Chain A
Amino acid sequence: MDIPRDHLVDMYETMVKIRRFEERIREIYFEDKLPAFDIAAGLIPGEMHLSAGQEPVAVGVKPHLKAGDAITATHRPHHVAIAQGVDLKKMAAEIFGRETGLGHGKGGHMHLFSVEPNFGCSGIIGEGMPVACGAALAFSRRGTDNVALSFFGDGAANQGAFHESLNLAATWNLPVVFICEDNGYAISVPKAAATAIPNNSDRACAYGIPGVLVEDNDPVGVYEAVGEAIRRARSGGGPTLIEVKTDRLWGHFEGDADAYRSDEFKKAMAERDPLVTFGRRLLDEGVLSESDVDSIRERMYGEVEEALEFAQSSPYPQPEDALNHVFA
């Protein structure tokens, strides 16, 4: 692998951190909702969309980012937020609905916003794509070489916002990179039943921009494709559409019985778990030693526990604070 070692290590560390965060959120989410599942009950109420399996898409981007670059993510935002460097404590606190959260408990896990780093996400499919175009427009008007990255799912590629954004970005030659996280399912509907062509990256040709397919859920493949796209965008070369074939290891939301995917499919997914395969590859190629892996795990697990501890020990907002922040 012709990639600086620190980038590889950083990508792996971030994957470990993301996975641990998602596992722990999942445990806490369920432990106070069982035996009778009540979505409103417990420390983490509401819907929860976890991104285990999709880590490579986020961590392959991270080494190419610089201060001020804007990211818009989806309703499944944690991996992207963590990889972008969103404050893990404040993010966890937001998920727990606490006063110390990113939005003081106003947004919750689908609506995480952070000024530094420049991160936003949305519970509406495709909503962040035009916003990324606007961020890119602002960068070019202000004369910075920042880029905007918009993550979206394969389901969003059938929304008008996808087509409008690609056309706008191409027409205005905006420094924006669109990254399709193709996990093959829009909730329960398989992509083949909802999308007329196998690869959304092919749709780039309709807008006269490069379309790049990363066929396996490999952080290195993402790293290379996104690196090239970001270099092009920063130097005035305009937008790129990248599609990454990835896996959503768990259900669409926590509590989803996930009956629409076969046992064989799930077994195959588990066998190609990117955290395992990437870790093994780094060991095989001598990038990491067993003891490196252990210490990474210890540090990342510790960071996650610290964030969860901060969140759970933080106060809830005052009820009447619901009226704050409607207007600046």
Chain B
Amino acid sequence: MTTATDRKLTTQKAIAEAIALELERDESVLVMGEDVGVYGGIFGSTEGLLDRFGPQRVMDTPISETGFIGAAVGAAVNGLRPIAELMFVDFFGVCMDQIYNNMAKIHYFSGGNVKVPMVLMTAVGGGYSDAGQHSQTLWGTFAHLPGMKVVVPSNPYDAKGLMISAIREDNPVIYMFHKGVLGLGWMTNNPRATGPVPEEAYEVPIGKAAIARPGNDVTVATVGLSVHRALDAAELLEEKGISAEVLDLRSLVPLDREAIVASVRKTHRLMVVDEDYQSFGMSGEVITTAVEGAFDYLDAPPVRVATPDVPIPYSHPLEEWTLPSVRRIVAGIERLTTG
């Protein structure tokens, strides 16, 4: 663990700080991506790094994701530890081959002889009317394909620790930051987007869930911005005498199945909140985990609050209705606990 701190950072600054510390510690670390240099990353993930480390370590790339993500793979195989930023996860369609056919499979194909120690960081999430090509979460897509770890921090502390862990990890890690938890000036943010962050380097282990709020009546398992929605819902429900435990999974691959099972055994009810599309995704996986590990403990069928299987719509009322909101979480938990 790390020392207590009163210093507060936004999630965005915590990510940039994590990268800075690792750039400083390890000569083999470098960052590459679109607008990661002078701009500091469209979402601020590399803010201030160019000035400190120069263009050899913080590299603006052409808009050619196949090219530079593939280059990150080649650099990782040859002794560097690159962090490549795919600006929006929605852009994966132009470069997925390098990600799932190459980055994620080389270690396996080589029978363990070749390592690909790289981080692919990318912004996810909607809620700001950017429509269906800039608002998806898609972690289920990446988690479904073997060979890469997938982490989704929800707060500044975890964002820093998970980034440091990801950079030090010998496997490819997809690091997905939700725009709504970054604390950017130009985006509606949850108040918890700013929080205490120790100054020194520390790791948050990949594959370990956290109990964001303990409770007894229902487990709400989720990641990213939905952690905050679930916490908001839990506060509202407390007034009605319902005690919700919010489980921040933090990592989809590996998934902390033990934490899911343990929580469900305690609360006997499970809700999964997933900003990704409902079908064939995280919600199904988490519920299956609970059914396999805690079937006899379940007092009610699990419930999921996810994005229905439609592209994220543009118009505010459409999008608000589509994404997992506090309103939908509260309604779901009431149904679960009174049914």
A interface residues with partner B (beta carbon < 8 Å): 70, 72, 101-107, 111, 113-115, 118, 120, 122, 124, 127, 129-139, 141-142, 148, 160-161, 163-165, 167-168, 171, 324-328
Contacts and interface: CB of A to CB of B under 8 A. Distances in A.
B73 A103 contact: no
Measured as residues with beta carbon below 8 angstroms from the partner, the interface class of chain B is 35 or more
Given A138-B79, A141-B56, A131 B102 contact: yes
B147 interface: yes
Given A113-B114, A142-B79, A167-B62, A103 B67 contact: no
Given A130-B68, A168-B68, A327-B171, A115 B98 contact: no
B101 A124 contact: yes
Contacts of A142: 79-80
Given A127-B101, A131-B102, A138 B67 contact: no
B78 A134 contact: yes
B110 A102 contact: yes
A137 B75 contact: yes
A168 B61 contact: yes
Most buried by B among A130, A132, A167, A171: A130
A133 B71 contact: yes
7 contacts: A72-B74, A127-B97, A134-B82, A137-B74, A137-B75, A138-B75, A161-B67
A105 B111 contact: yes
A124 B100 CA distance: 12
Contacts of A113: 106, 109-111, 113-114
B315 interface: no
Given A130-B70, A326-B146, A164 B113 contact: no
A92 to B, nearest CB: 15
A142 B106 CA distance: 22
Nearest to B104: A326
A106 B62 CA distance: 34
A124 B97 CA distance: 8
Contacts of A328: 107, 112, 115, 117, 170-171
Interface of B: 30, 56, 61-62, 64, 66-80, 82, 94, 97-98, 101-102, 105-115, 117, 146-147, 149, 170-171
Given A124-B101, A127-B98, A161-B70, A134 B77 contact: yes
Contacts of A325: 107-108, 110-112
Contacts of A137: 71, 74-75, 80
B67 A133 contact: yes
Contacts of A122: 101-102
A191 B2 CA distance: 61
Given A113-B113, A138-B80, A131 B62 contact: no
B107 A131 contact: no
B110 A103 contact: yes
A111 B74 contact: no
The 9 tightest CB contacts between A and B, nearest first, are A130-B70, A134-B74, A164-B67, A104-B111, A107-B109, A134-B71, A131-B74, A113-B110, A138-B78
Given A113-B110, A326-B108, 9 more contacts: A107-B108, A107-B110, A111-B109, A122-B101, A131-B70, A134-B72, A164-B64, A164-B67, A168-B62
